[in-house]
Amino acid sequence: MVFLKKLLPLVAGLLVCLGLAGAFFGFGPGLVSREFQDGWRFNTGQLPPHAWIGQTFTSRLDGLARIDVLLGSFGLPLVKPLTLELTAVDRPRQDHLARPRPLVDQGVTIPLHGPLQIGQTFLPRRDGLSGVRVLLDAGSMPAPASVRFRLWEAGVIDLPGELLREVVVPAADLPAWGFFEFAFRPLEGSAGRPLLFTLDLAGVPRHTWRDKTFQGLLLRFISDQGQPDGQPWQGVNPEGSAWRPEISVGKDYSFNEPLTLWPANRHLKWRYWQGDLAFGLAYPPALEPGPVLRRAGRRGLAISDNSFNSFSFKPLEDSKGRSFLFSLKTTPGPGREPVALADWALRYPGGCLVVDGVPYEGGLAFRAYNAAAKGTVWRELRDKVTRNKPAPWSGPWFIAALAAAHLLLVGLLVGLVWPRA
Amino acid sequence: MSLNRARWVLAAALLLFTVRAGLYIQLLPVNEMPDELEHVRKIILARDWPRVANDRAAAERLMREVSADYYLLANRLDQRPPLDQVEGRVPPPERRTAYFRFCGWLLRVLGVESIPRAWYLIRALSWLFGLAVLLCGWGAARSLAPERPILAAATAGFLALLPQFGAMSAVASTDKPAELAGAVFFLLMVRIARRPARLAWLGAGLIIICLPLVKKTTFFLVLVALAAALPWWRGWLGRLRHGRLVGLSLSALVTVAFLGAVFVPWGARWTVKLAGMPLLRIWHPLFDDRVFRQPGMINALVEHVRPLSPAFWHQVYFNLQSLFQSWWGTFGFQTLPLPAAWYWSAWLLVLLALAGLARLLFRPGREWSMEPWQGRALGLLVLGAGLNLAVILTRQIVFAPGSLSQGRYMFPSLVPWAVVGCLAFLALWPRRLQAPALVLGLTWLAAMDLAGLWRTIVPYYYSLVL
């Protein structure tokens, strides 16, 4: 009995060692990833309940079993749960990809107030333009006010062309800070057509202008000249620029430029800024997800910020050579929506970013894993970690010896600390 | 736990730390912890400095060789790229601190010519620094509570398994000498609190004098040394005939030194040299470019600390969060955190330790009552840990607004955090439950470490899951 009691710490240590070995090396299949993308990361915006974001890819191996996606919660401890759905698609990449717009915190906030108009020229890549999403803050707008959105032909140099669409939205329906989509009837033949949208206010009570807390409608402007303490945003939108009428009275602190006020009886001159409003374009869906092949969820508390988050599912045996689309949707729950992080360069040749069914230039930061035999994974790891390294780290069995010694020593440490009778 | 068993735990912890450092050295690709390539550049430059000091072309060629070997080691290319296609920027010679000079000298003495071999040798040297810190942690815990070997065993086990410390002990980093300086210093502080010995004071004094050669993240140790000297100072003044007069004179001297650092150009310039920026920005040509082109500490404090602004507290929250996570384990350039569940469970452990600390402070009972010197030593450790935290948060929020704090900046006070944390954690449990609680805590930490190595680093850098 005494002998058995003396053995207990040793047995406990061994059990801990075996338990950790089983948890980290024993259970589940080995996985290898051949499809991945992780470059410069930009914020694709929070995922509202009705929206989805995804990525197409082609699997080079059988046994597709897990997809990791880089997600951000921007420090929030709790975000809404996410569901990943995997569907098959015919073509992983389409022609005429839309250009994504980064939701960035850089740039300056500019107020739209009085009878001022602010606008942006742009060149849609696809037909059927159906809306423009603008980053705005209507937090200080009075209830009876509304915002008028107008879509024009871009015109020549300083004058807008034909009015194409007009949308008026009550200020109460606009977000305190976020993208709002000014949706309109799809515009056929929009691909390659220079367009301009303008925003202005209506119905703001006169007494509001005297209220010092009233800031107007706030928009975000990203200068391609660069901020005083930042990098220039060259090429944010090379196909257009921000636009506003220019009348000089006083100074605008945001731009160190003339403050713009609208005189009723003066001729207007239009002026282009070197930079862009934070905005994006909306099109009708071109890529509808088919039947769901696999579905996996992740609870809000388990979503890691600025990190690859795994969605595991039962391996898809015949995945080799097939093209897939995975889409992410938020499901109801406490907290705000998480954000998927993407690369806006088209680095991954086997697919592209898809937002609400519209294929975009760029791609989500993701990794698709396929099931593989443990031995294959170990051999691949050994080859990768010993390559070009000096001795002893170039030894083929060194890493296996270290890994085994690691587990044994953890067991020994626990055994030594284990309470004695 | 007997002392003999605690010593066995120490031996196992040292071995375990060695194996873990070996794994991190193997699995962490080169330059995937902060600024490693830059550090290696400076070390190689220091190694060959006698040869290239007066030969700009040779220095540039040497830096190109470092770049080429970096691409090969990082597996970015199949073969070493031609030297004319890689960067050859030579770091400014004045930036070669004591760490770079020491490593360069060591490589010269050992005759290590190959850059890849030198790189991995420097990584192995970081493991030695880490081992020394672990031994200091053991020593500090033994000195603080000689009647409780379990505290020393817990501290050694904790330091042997902390993921971020393991990762930092596997790369070329200027944080290693800062960690060691802090670890030795706090060991000496505990010894001084127990029995003020001249040798311990001499050692602490030497460390304080050498701090400008180590890293600015260690400057807070000066304040801890002053706090440790306070009882001795009071006693000495009390024994003097005109003690009160001497005390007042020295207070006046400190005030004059402060005013001199602010208002005398020479003093302000020296402050810039030592602390990175002047205390107060003064717009006068006499204070030269170095002073008046910089914000000034007091100016920056006034400008950036806005207690009524939610944005300020948001930034504080972000910094505390990034500091907490990267103290436990965040790899890469703050780009590779562990899965969120590990940080949640780390918070649980911290809450348990805080509850234990509350018990230790307010309801110690007979079991946890301490001698006065133990209280002083514990106070010095807590002061050191708190000062380091305050300095890092202030630096990141006020002087580098928009940046995030990194856990490695807190590693000069790793020994206080480990000793006080383990003591507080153990104090929560009755004596018979201390060992089981420690078993659970160490097993959790070992699992966190394994998750870092095999579930975070390997999938991210090698696209494999074992």
Neighbouring-strand partners of residue A341: A43
For the residues A97-115, what does the mean pLDDT come to?
Answer: 68
A80 lies in some domain = yes
Query: Is the domain of B364 the same as that of B394?
Result: yes
Distance of CA A393 to the CA centre of its chain: 38
Q: Do A418 and B454 touch (CB under 8 A)?
A: no
The residue in chain A having the minimum alpha-carbon distance to the alpha carbon of residue B7 is A416
Indicate the DSSP class of residue B244. H
Query: Is the domain of A124 the same as that of A209?
Result: yes
pLDDT over threshold 50, residue A249:
no
- Of A64, A74, A72, the closest CA to residue A32 belongs to A64
A335: confidence class by pLDDT, cuts 50, 70, 90: confident
The residue in chain A having the minimum alpha-carbon distance to the alpha carbon of residue B316 is A75
Indicate the DSSP class of residue A98. B
The residue in chain B having the minimum alpha-carbon distance to the alpha carbon of residue A20 is B447
For residues A359 and A95, the answer to whether their CB atoms sit within 8 Å is no
By Cβ distance, the residue of B27, B120, B439 closest to A414 is B439
Q: Which of residues A282, A306, A332 is at a domain's end?
A: A282
CATH of the domain at A318: 2.60.120
Query: Is the domain of B247 the same as that of B221?
Result: no
Q: Which of residues A282, A317, A350 is at a domain's end?
A: A282
B13 lies in some domain = yes
Query: Is the domain of B21 the same as that of B154?
Result: yes
- Of A132, A167, A130, the closest CA to residue A283 belongs to A130
Chain A partners of B157 at a C-beta cutoff of 8 Å? 413, 417
Chain B partners of A389 at a C-beta cutoff of 8 Å? 26, 73, 116, 120
Tokens (6 digits) for B286: 């006499």
Per cent of chain B over pLDDT 90 is: 57
Q: Is the peptide bond before A238 cis (omega within 30 degrees of 0)?
A: no
Q: What is the pLDDT of residue B314?
A: 83
For residues B38 and B44, the answer to whether their CB atoms sit within 8 Å is no
CA distance B167 to B162: 9
The residue in chain A having the minimum alpha-carbon distance to the alpha carbon of residue B22 is A402
Q: Do B465 and A369 touch (CB under 8 A)?
A: yes
Q: Which of A311-315, B108-112, B266-270 has the lowest mean pLDDT?
A: B266-270
For residues B75 and A387, the answer to whether their CB atoms sit within 8 Å is yes
Query: Is the domain of A119 the same as that of A174?
Result: yes
Amino acid at B333: F
Query: Is the domain of B274 the same as that of B407?
Result: no
A366-372 and A64-72 as β-strands: parallel, antiparallel, unpaired? antiparallel
Q: Which of A88-102, A268-282, B154-168, B343-357 has the lowest mean pLDDT?
A: A268-282
For the residues A264-292, what does the mean pLDDT come to?
Answer: 67
Residue of B333, B439, B448, B449 to mutate, interface with A, max A Cβ within 10 Å: B439
B52 lies in some domain = no
The residue in chain A having the minimum alpha-carbon distance to the alpha carbon of residue B28 is A385
The residue in chain A having the minimum alpha-carbon distance to the alpha carbon of residue B332 is A307
Q: How far is A125 from chain B (nearest CA, A)?
A: 33
Query: Is the domain of B366 the same as that of B405?
Result: yes
- Is the CB of A413 inside 8 Å of chain B's CB atoms? yes
Which residues in chain B (334-393) have CB-CB distances under 8 A to chain A? 335-341, 344
CA distance A209 to A207: 5
Query: Is the domain of B16 the same as that of B135?
Result: yes
CA distance B127 to B171: 8
| Residue pairs spanning A and B at CB distance below 8 A | 149
Average pLDDT taken over every residue of chain A: 79
Query: Is the domain of A138 the same as that of A190?
Result: yes
Task: Count CB neighbours of A93 within 10 A.
Answer: 19
For residues A193 and A123, the answer to whether their CB atoms sit within 8 Å is yes
- Is the CB of B85 inside 8 Å of chain A's CB atoms? no
Distance of CA A115 to the CA centre of its chain: 34
- pLDDT, tens digit (0-9, with 9 covering 90-100), for B155-201: 999 999 999 999 999 999 999 999 999 999 999 999 999 888 889 99
Chain A partners of B432 at a C-beta cutoff of 8 Å? 419
Q: Which of residues B276, B304, B332 is at a domain's end?
A: B304
- pLDDT, tens digit (0-9, with 9 covering 90-100), for B421-457: 999 999 999 888 999 999 999 999 999 999 999 999 9
Tokens (6 digits) for B150: 């379990």
Q: How far is A406 from chain B (nearest CA, A)?
A: 6
Which residues in chain B (140-179) have CB-CB distances under 8 A to chain A? 153-154, 157, 160-161
Q: How far is B138 from chain A (nearest CA, A)?
A: 15
For residues A394 and A3, the answer to whether their CB atoms sit within 8 Å is no
B109 lies in some domain = no
Full DSSP string of B352-407: HHHHHHHHHHH--TTTT---HHHHHHHHHHHHHHHHHHHHHHHIIIIISTT----G
A101: confidence class by pLDDT, cuts 50, 70, 90: low
A268: confidence class by pLDDT, cuts 50, 70, 90: very low
Q: What is the pLDDT of residue A293?
A: 93
Query: Is the domain of A190 the same as that of A61?
Result: no
B436 lies in some domain = yes
Query: Is the domain of A10 the same as that of A149?
Result: no
Chain B partners of A374 at a C-beta cutoff of 8 Å? 466
pLDDT over threshold 50, residue B111:
yes
B71 lies in some domain = no
CB-facing half-sphere around the CA of A368: CA atoms within 13 A: 28
> Which ranges of A167-245 does DSSP label H, i.e. alpha helix?
none
> Which ranges of B276-309 does DSSP label H, i.e. alpha helix?
288-292, 297-304
A244: confidence class by pLDDT, cuts 50, 70, 90: low
CA distance A19 to A2: 26
By Cβ distance, the residue of B15, B454, B464 closest to A409 is B15
CA distance B272 to B249: 26
Q: How far is B75 from chain A (nearest CA, A)?
A: 7
Q: What is the pLDDT of residue B244?
A: 85
A129-137 and A257-258 as β-strands: parallel, antiparallel, unpaired? unpaired
pLDDT over threshold 60, residue A225:
no
Residue-wise burial string across A371-386, b where 16 or more C-beta atoms lie within 10 A, e elsewhere: bbeeeebbebbbebbb
Q: Which of residues B304, B326, B344 is at a domain's end?
A: B304
A101 lies in some domain = no
CA distance B191 to B196: 7
For residues A278 and A103, the answer to whether their CB atoms sit within 8 Å is yes
Chain A partners of B16 at a C-beta cutoff of 8 Å? 406, 409-410, 412-413
B378 lies in some domain = yes
Chain B partners of A305 at a C-beta cutoff of 8 Å? 337, 340
- Of A144, A146, A147, the closest CA to residue A132 belongs to A147
- pLDDT, tens digit (0-9, with 9 covering 90-100), for A119-148: 888 888 888 999 998 888 888 888 788 999
A64-72 and B464-465 as β-strands: parallel, antiparallel, unpaired? unpaired
Query: Is the domain of A386 the same as that of A300?
Result: no
Query: Is the domain of B213 the same as that of B340?
Result: yes
The residue in chain A having the minimum alpha-carbon distance to the alpha carbon of residue B458 is A381
Q: Distance from first CA to last CA of chain A, Å, rounded?
A: 12
Cα–Cα distances in Å, from B312 out to A307, B393, B396, B397, B402? 25, 12, 12, 8, 10
Segments forming the whole domain that contains residue B300 = 240-304
The residue in chain B having the minimum alpha-carbon distance to the alpha carbon of residue A421 is B432
Q: What is the pLDDT of residue B458?
A: 93
Cα–Cα distances in Å, from A46 out to A260, A276, A308? 33, 21, 17
Number of domains in chain B: 2
Residue keyed to tokens 């930036």:
B95
Query: Is the domain of A191 the same as that of A260?
Result: yes
- pLDDT, tens digit (0-9, with 9 covering 90-100), for B50-63: 888 888 899 999 99
Dihedrals φ, ψ of B400, to 5°? Answer: -135, 60
Q: Which of residues B271, B304, B337 is at a domain's end?
A: B304
Q: What is the pLDDT of residue B63?
A: 92
- Is the CB of A24 inside 8 Å of chain B's CB atoms? yes
By Cβ distance, the residue of B339, B344, B466 closest to A378 is B466
CB-facing half-sphere around the CA of A236: CA atoms within 13 A: 27
B55 lies in some domain = no
Tokens (6 digits) for A253: 């602190």
A408 lies in some domain = yes
Q: What is the pLDDT of residue B94?
A: 64
Query: Is the domain of B143 the same as that of B211?
Result: yes
Q: Do A367 and B463 touch (CB under 8 A)?
A: yes
For residues A274 and A225, the answer to whether their CB atoms sit within 8 Å is yes
Dihedrals φ, ψ of B169, to 5°? Answer: -85, 15
3 state DSSP class of B336:
strand
Query: Is the domain of B321 the same as that of B451?
Result: yes
CA distance B435 to A414: 10
Q: Do B337 and A405 touch (CB under 8 A)?
A: no
Chain A partners of B30 at a C-beta cutoff of 8 Å? none
Distance of CA A324 to the CA centre of its chain: 19
Query: Is the domain of A340 the same as that of A299?
Result: yes
Query: Is the domain of A233 the same as that of A132?
Result: yes
Q: What is the pLDDT of residue B177?
A: 94
Torsion-angle region of A75 (φ positive above 0: left; ψ -120 to 50: alpha; else: beta): left
For residues B277 and B295, the answer to whether their CB atoms sit within 8 Å is yes
CA distance A341 to A364: 6
A287 lies in some domain = no
CA distance B306 to B358: 31
Task: Count CB neighbours of B113 within 10 A.
Answer: 10
pLDDT higher at A230 or A224 = A224
3 state DSSP class of A397:
coil
- Is the CB of A332 inside 8 Å of chain B's CB atoms? no
Q: What is the pLDDT of residue A246?
A: 44
Number of domains in chain A: 3
Q: How far is B295 from chain A (nearest CA, A)?
A: 14
- Of A174, A149, A133, the closest CA to residue A278 belongs to A133
- Is the CB of B122 inside 8 Å of chain A's CB atoms? no
CA distance A403 to A390: 19
Segments forming the whole domain that contains residue A404 = 2-28+373-417
For residues B340 and A304, the answer to whether their CB atoms sit within 8 Å is yes
CA distance B175 to B126: 9
Amino acid at B80: R
Query: Is the domain of B329 the same as that of B395?
Result: yes
- pLDDT, tens digit (0-9, with 9 covering 90-100), for B271-323: 888 777 888 887 777 777 667 777 788 888 887 888 888 878 888 888 898 99
Query: Is the domain of A367 the same as that of A378?
Result: no
Query: Is the domain of B299 the same as that of B379?
Result: no
Cα–Cα distances in Å, from B313 out to B277, B308, B414, B453? 25, 9, 26, 34
CA distance A164 to A184: 10
Query: Is the domain of B437 the same as that of B349?
Result: yes
- Of A368, A253, A375, the closest CA to residue A311 belongs to A368
pLDDT over threshold 50, residue A233:
no
Query: Is the domain of A224 the same as that of A118?
Result: yes
pLDDT higher at A251 or B361 = B361
- pLDDT, tens digit (0-9, with 9 covering 90-100), for A22-77: 888 877 789 999 988 887 777 777 777 778 899 999 999 999 999 999 998 887 87
Query: Is the domain of A149 the same as that of A278?
Result: yes
B119 lies in some domain = no
pLDDT higher at A177 or B170 = B170
Full DSSP string of A254-282: TTTEEPP---TTS---EEE-SEEESEEEE
